[in-house]
Structure 1
Amino acid sequence: MSAPERIPSRGLTEAGLRALLAEGELTVLGRVRGASNAVLYCTAAYEGEERPCVYKPVAGEQPLWDFPDGTLAQREVAAYEISEATGWGLVPPTVLRDGPYGRGMCQLWIEAEEAAEAADAEGPGAAVPGLPPLLALVEDEEPGEGWKAVGFADVGEGRTALLVHADDPRLRRLAILDAVINNGDRKGGHLLPAPGGRLYGIDHGVTFNADDKLRTLLWGWAGEPLPEEAVPVLARLAVDLEPGRPLATRLAELITRAELDALRERVEALRTSGRHPQPSGEWPAIPWPPV
């Protein structure tokens, strides 16, 4: 699968979208409910252009015992930087800026396709409420062709079903990105199939911890060899993360020195093993709730 085209946002380039998000006037239209931190739905207007976006002020972040206070917005930006460095464009344009409620993260709003439109074909079983059609629950003990098993889930009344995800190159790229950034919260609701076949991942606040925190619904490839396309991507990323390189310099402003060192170690570990990581057993492997 070739690298996806850049975001076709009605004529604006990636750099133009970043400028709009960073310099545009933010107008808060409402709050996204159900999030543990403040997530505000806004528009950003700049030089005659306007786009919907998400603004997450640092002031609205809830403290976490295992992350420094007030750093989640920075981690979202760092995840975007890594995504761009891979060339896969898996994270929507994201910047750090001042806004109506202070410093925060601002990210382009992605309008996900409806499930019926996004699915290429019927899934192997029941769709999971709140999840994109790339995930499903099946009654069998093994996934069908084109699907990967995640694990068994309690579906009530003493019954279990097998949670599966599609054996999809887009998801596999996202699984590699998550392993690199040490994503502690890859839920199904954080997967956004977009028009044109693009797939985006969002909500990267709990990433880049120096300790192993990987929690994801994308364990289907655990222990399998990495796809061939990942080899040069990881090699290039290792170079970009060397001290003094532009990417490393930008990341040093967003995460701690220990976290940057751990990031380098994870990239090198992936290159050395040549395989997708497996659950460590020291941390819950699947986020809860999974949506």
Structure 2
Amino acid sequence: MSGRADPASALDLLTRGEVTLKGRLPRSSNATFLVELALDEATALAVYKPERGERPLWDFPPGLFRREIAAYLLSEALGWGLVPATAPREGPLGEGSLQLFVPADFRQHYFTLLEQVEHREALQRICLFDLLINNADRKSGHCLYVPDDRIYAIDNGLTFHAESKLRTVIWDFGEEPIAPALLDDVRRVLDDGLPPALTDLLDPDEQRALKRRARGLLRSGRFPVDQSGLRYPWPLI
């Protein structure tokens, strides 16, 4: 099973499957683990992010794993499928999130994908998503390309802050119009109201800020420009 699995079966496996710790993933600022899930005849690999492995931050409260789940829920509400199936789970190291592992071509990342015109629409969708969730850490390597020509956006823990925290490598679409279909998706979610499962994970200020960002993007209809040149994460990849 991969990140693109049927949502219902994927979430069932994430929430009910037996969890076996395989090892720690390298090059992560927080303790992140690869696990194997098994439920009946189904098996899958997943990424486990326990709260106890989170490095304390001055500007984000503990529980970044909840923001990973919130990003998945918003992506699904929009109908964009950008984030692999993600669910809360009590694992071997305590409460955290489980996200289906994506068997990506890890030679590819945002900067390489940007050079290929066929990926432009998918990257614009990720760009708009990051503007909505106020992503404070969208690195190039967080855009995962899988062989079925799909691009996922992972590592969404530094998101949904009520204050402006946007830091991303995706500034190449500045001043370009946002596709009407994408704006329609944003408008629909605003009109329908944020899903209860999502609002349960965000405080009232964060919910209001999310709606303000959405309304601002609907008014402008264009991707913004980083006038300061400072809103980039480090490292870039």
Give the equivalent residue in structure 1 for 2:40. 47
Q: CA deviation at 1:170?
A: 0.6
- The one of the two structures with greater contact order (alpha-carbon pairs below 8 A, sep at least 6) is 2
- In 2, Cα distance between equivalents of 1:204 and 1:240: 24
Query: Following superposition of structure 1 onto structure 2, how do residues 1-291 of structure 1 map, counting pairs within 5 Å?
Result: 9=5, 13-69=6-62, 71-113=63-105, 115=107, 133-135=112-114, 146=117, 168-241=120-193, 247=195, 249-279=196-226, 281=228, 284-291=230-237
1:227-277 Cα shifts (integer Å, max 9, x gaps): 1221211111212335xxxx0x21222121100110011111111111112
1:19-72 Cα shifts (integer Å, max 9, x gaps): 100111110101101100011001111122110000000000011111112x20
Question: Which residue type is aligned with residue 222 of structure 2?
Answer: R
1:190-230 Cα shifts (integer Å, max 9, x gaps): 01001210100100000000111111111011122111221
- In 2, Cα distance between equivalents of 1:188 and 1:73: 20
Secondary structure of residue in 2 paired with 1:288: coil
- In 2, Cα distance between equivalents of 1:276 and 1:181: 14
Cα distance 1:280–1:95, how it changes in 2: closer, same or farther (>3 A)?
A: farther
Cα distance 1:63–1:7, how it changes in 2: closer, same or farther (>3 A)?
A: closer
Asked if the contact 1:241/1:264 (under 8 Å) is kept, the reply is no
What TM-score results when the alignment is normalised by the length of structure 1? 0.76
- In 2, Cα distance between equivalents of 1:46 and 1:268: 42
- Please identify the structure whose Cα radius of gyration is greater: 1
Asked if the contact 1:188/1:290 (under 8 Å) is kept, the reply is yes
Asked if the contact 2:3/2:102 (under 8 Å) is kept, the reply is no
Asked if the contact 1:7/1:14 (under 8 Å) is kept, the reply is no
- Structure with more of its chain in strand, by fraction: 1
1:63-112 Cα shifts (integer Å, max 9, x gaps): 1111112x200000000011111111000000011000100010000011
User: Which consecutive residues of structure 2, in runs of 5 or more, have no partner in the other structure?
Assistant: none
Asked if the contact 2:114/2:123 (under 8 Å) is kept, the reply is no
Question: Which residue type is aligned with residue 101 of structure 1?
Answer: L
- Structure with more of its chain in helix, by fraction: 2
Q: CA deviation at 1:16?
A: 0.6
Asked if the contact 1:251/1:260 (under 8 Å) is kept, the reply is no
1:92-144 Cα shifts (integer Å, max 9, x gaps): 000011000100010000011254xx7xxxxxxxxxxx7662157xxxxxxxx
Secondary structure of residue in 2 paired with 1:106: strand
State the aligned residue count.
236
Q: CA deviation at 1:278?
A: 2.6
Aligned-pair Cα RMSD in Å:
2.1
